[in-house]
Amino acid sequence: MDLPARVAIFCPSLELKNKQGRLMTVNPQGYYEVRLELPDGSHTALLPIAGTALLFADANVTGEVIPELER
């Protein structure tokens, strides 16, 4: 998986539902670092892995299984 990557973000604790953003990194302390485009500019957010779902915007064109992320 190449980072940064375009993602759709679902995080109920921040009321993010299908919010477009960029996954910058996966923090070993249990957070996704994402960049969100909001009306007043670009913001970085740290979202808990346990309470966040990410859907990658770019499809897997090779059909290969994506290797597991190190956590």
> Is 42 part of a structural domain of the chain?
yes
Mean pLDDT of 53-67: 75
Q: What is the model's pTM?
A: 0.76
> Is 27 part of a structural domain of the chain?
yes
> Is 12 part of a structural domain of the chain?
yes
Q: Domain total for the chain?
A: 1
> Is 62 part of a structural domain of the chain?
no
> Is 68 part of a structural domain of the chain?
no
Please enumerate, as own/partner, the contacts of 54-57 that have beta carbons within 8 Å and a separation of 24 or more. Answer: 54/7, 54/8, 54/9, 54/10, 54/23, 55/7, 55/8, 55/10, 56/1, 56/5, 56/6, 56/7, 57/5, 57/6, 57/7, 57/8, 57/20
> Is 44 part of a structural domain of the chain?
yes
What pLDDT band is residue 62 in, cutting at 50, 70 and 90?
Answer: low
> Is 30 part of a structural domain of the chain?
yes
What pLDDT band is residue 71 in, cutting at 50, 70 and 90?
Answer: low
Query: Tens digits of per-residue pLDDT, 25-56?
Result: 999 999 999 999 888 999 999 999 999 999 88
